[in-house]
Amino acid sequence: MAYPLRFEWRNQTHETVKLRTFLSAHGVSHAVLIQIKFHGGSMSINHRPAWSVDNVRPNDVVTIILPPEPANAAVTISDLPLSIVYEDDNFLVVNKPAGVASVPAHHYANNTLVNRAKGYFITHGIPLQVPHIVTRLDKDTSGLVLFGKHHMAHSVLDQQLKAHSLQKTYLAVASGTGLPEHGNFDQPIQRDPTSFIKRQTGETGQAARTEFWVLATAGDFSVVKVKLHTGRTHQIRVHFAGAGHPLVGDQLYEGDLHQGLNRQALACERLDFYDPFADVQRQLTAPLAEDIQQLLTRYEINVDTVMQQLNADLDVN
């Protein structure tokens, strides 16, 4: 991909609209417009400089050039490896191991996925060295994490997140049996007043919906496929714990700690999103983490069968 980044569209409708409206329909967020205006980018209509309030008429050609993205010096560089599932000029998808935080914090400053992605970008000569993390996972949840390689890629995916068209599918192992074959949890989620970290269900919390399908049962646990319809902190863990089925290995929410896992049995196994740069729907999957595979195999649950069920296109309506 050539730098600086340049994107171009033609107004193929019969309507005249404001430039900002036209760009918004193509995934250009207000934040990107601010970056273009104040940090060295440009906008044009038919190759003439334009402002966001200018009109885009039928058959007009709109071009934007993104400004440079200087690396954040506060984000240190890590040369630890990434398990890359998919990469192109716009997106990077990695399979995060349990025990690695997604983003830097005061107690995880140097060895997060963002630190590793920055190191990867520099090592491989990628000019833009700002990893835009789009989907995050808890430190002890494994699975797929999606990065945009530039501000525009982040913008289009952020819009999909807000519209719930970017979908994450999880595999979880919940304590106990007796869950319905298919169900929903829709209890609001709020902070636990006794803990800075913990969450709980409660009437005054934020709206939350978790959909699940039971794929297998064995011993005293259930293997479930989970889709999120909202994105609250610890949502899957809180909803299953609130229903009396905390995830195996989840010490924070009092899950079964006697199955050989030292973290919650939860993995993001599939990502579905629209790639507007290639005009295709991406469907990406990850191999299941070894510790969860070992748990299933110990109870004679066929991992391949479970993964085939999880990745089948089910009717979720």
The per-residue pLDDT for range 265-275, each reduced to its tens digit, is: 999 999 999 99
Determine the pLDDT at residue 315. 44
How does pLDDT run across 161-170, given as a tens digit for each residue?
988 899 999 9
Q: Is pLDDT at 12 greater than 70 in this prediction?
A: yes
Determine the pLDDT at residue 248. 97
Determine the pLDDT at residue 145. 98
- What class, spelled out in words, does domain 167-310 have in CATH? alpha beta
Question: Distance (Å, rounded) from C-alpha 208 to C-alpha 184?
Answer: 10
How does pLDDT run across 34-53, given as a tens digit for each residue?
999 998 899 999 999 999 99
Average pLDDT rounded to a whole number, residues 233-240: 97
Domain 84-163 CATH assignment equals 3.30.2350.10: yes
What is the three-class DSSP state of 167? strand
Q: Is pLDDT at 1 greater than 50 in this prediction?
A: yes
Same fold, 84-163 and 167-310: yes
Residue closest to 212 by CA, chosen among 197, 228, 196, 188 = 228
Reported as a pLDDT band with limits 50, 70 and 90, residue 317 is very low
Q: For residue 247, what is the DSSP state?
A: B
**One-letter identity of residue 3:** Y
Angle between helices 290-298 and 303-310 (to 10 degrees): 120
**Which of 54, 60, 138, 158 does the annotation list as catalytic?**
138
CB 272 within 8 A of CB 283: yes
300: left (phi over 0), alpha (psi -120 to 50) or beta: left
Write phi, then psi, for 121 (nearest 5 degrees): -60, -45
State how far the alpha carbon of 286 is from the alpha carbons of 185, 191, 271, in Å.
25, 31, 9
- Residue 5 host element (H or E): none
Domain parsing of the chain, residue ranges: 6-65, 84-163, 167-310
Whole-model pTM? 0.89
CB 7 within 8 A of CB 63: yes
Average pLDDT rounded to a whole number, residues 185-210: 95
Write phi, then psi, for 221 (nearest 5 degrees): -150, 165
Average pLDDT rounded to a whole number, residues 60-73: 90
Question: Distance (Å, rounded) from C-alpha 199 to C-alpha 237?
Answer: 9
Q: Is pLDDT at 71 greater than 90 in this prediction?
A: no
Report the DSSP pairing between strands 221-228 and 132-133: unpaired
Reported as a pLDDT band with limits 50, 70 and 90, residue 316 is very low
Average pLDDT rounded to a whole number, residues 199-203: 95
Active site residue 88: no
CB 284 within 8 A of CB 271: yes
How does pLDDT run across 111-149, given as a tens digit for each residue?
899 999 999 999 988 877 789 999 999 999 999 999 999
- Across the chain, mean pLDDT equals 93
Residue closest to 9 by CA, chosen among 1, 19, 114 = 19
CB 64 within 8 A of CB 43: yes
